[in-house]
């Protein structure tokens, strides 16, 4: 039995004793055809994160949405992969309490997961805002507009005039996290955390698990991450590893 199988077996034992809270990043969606931000074909190889900042939207919404469409058009029709489906199955079986995700693609929900906190929002709903350019403040004119109402062939018709346009319900660079307290509350409900498909570098997402210092942490990722504490790192493709885990679970039963 190699180290991967040893850790998966230990994870399975721990899951049976203590249902986990799972933290996910872009790596769990790459098997659905969505490139991550920092991979070899990632957005940040040719673009800068400031292009998706809230100030970029306010300053030049045309330029912002050019970058936004390039990054996210592939997401609208993406389908869940085995990672999403198995995580949903594990939740149904009582081994997972909930998921806190960086992803804005809603693939966890499409895969069947019920308790999902979208730490960075999602790209499927928009708010119509009126911008005051003197101080970059804005007021809401209409909220929770589905992208299907303002898109044509996945091209978002975002602009009404120079001060009135649709703002995606994504947490853009420069904005605060509204789901912080909810995420910390969930993280504290379980002393077993699984971190999946993320470099675990983006602040403040990478701080949530630390809010429960008692938690035992497993990492499932294509490469090791930096984690400030004890953890067991299981290196490999998340779908392949979860398939192995679910087979172990079935054989035990």
- Tokens at 225, concatenated: 């991450």
Residue 138 is encoded by which pair of tokens?
A: 């804005």
Residue 40: phi and psi, rounded to 5, are -60, -30
150-189: b (≥16 Cβ within 10 Å) or e: ebeeeebebeeeeeebbbbbbbbeeeebebbeebbebbee
For residue 12, what is the enclosing H or E element?
Answer: helix 3-17
Q: Which of 48, 77, 115, 120 is catalytic?
A: 120
Identify whether 47 is a catalytic site residue: no
SS3 116: strand
Please state, in angstroms and rounded to a whole number, the distance separating the CA atoms of residues 36 and 99: 19
Catalytic residues: 120
């Amino acid at each position: 039995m190699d180290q991967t199988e040893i850790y998966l077996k230990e994870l399975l034992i721990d899951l049976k004793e203590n249902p986990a809270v799972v933290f996910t990043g872009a790596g769990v969606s790459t098997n659905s055809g969505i490139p991550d931000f920092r991979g070899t074909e990632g957005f940040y190889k040719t673009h800068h994160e400031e292009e998706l900042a809230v100030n970029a939207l306010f300053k030049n919404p045309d330029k912002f949405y050019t970058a936004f469409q390039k990054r996210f058009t592939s997401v609208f029709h993406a389908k869940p992969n085995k990672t999403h489906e198995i995580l949903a199955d594990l939740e149904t079986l009582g081994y997972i309490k909930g998921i806190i995700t960086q992803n804005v693609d809603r693939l966890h929900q499409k895969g069947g997961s019920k308790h999902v906190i979208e730490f960075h929002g999602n790209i499927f709903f928009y708010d119509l805002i009126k911008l005051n350019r003197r101080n970059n403040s804005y007021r809401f004119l209409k909220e929770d507009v589905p992208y299907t109402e303002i898109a044509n062939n996945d091209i978002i018709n975002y602009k009404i005039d120079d001060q009135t346009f649709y703002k995606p319900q994504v947490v853009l660079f420069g904005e605060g996290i509204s789901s912080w307290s909810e995420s910390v509350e969930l993280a504290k409900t379980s002393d077993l955390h699984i971190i999946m498909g993320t470099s675990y570098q983006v602040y403040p997402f990478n701080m949530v698990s630390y809010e429960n210092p008692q938690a035992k942490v497993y990492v499932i990722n294509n490469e090791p991450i930096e984690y400030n504490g004890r953890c067991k790192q299981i290196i490999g493709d998340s779908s392949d590893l979860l398939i192995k885990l679910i087979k172990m679970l079935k054989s035990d039963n």
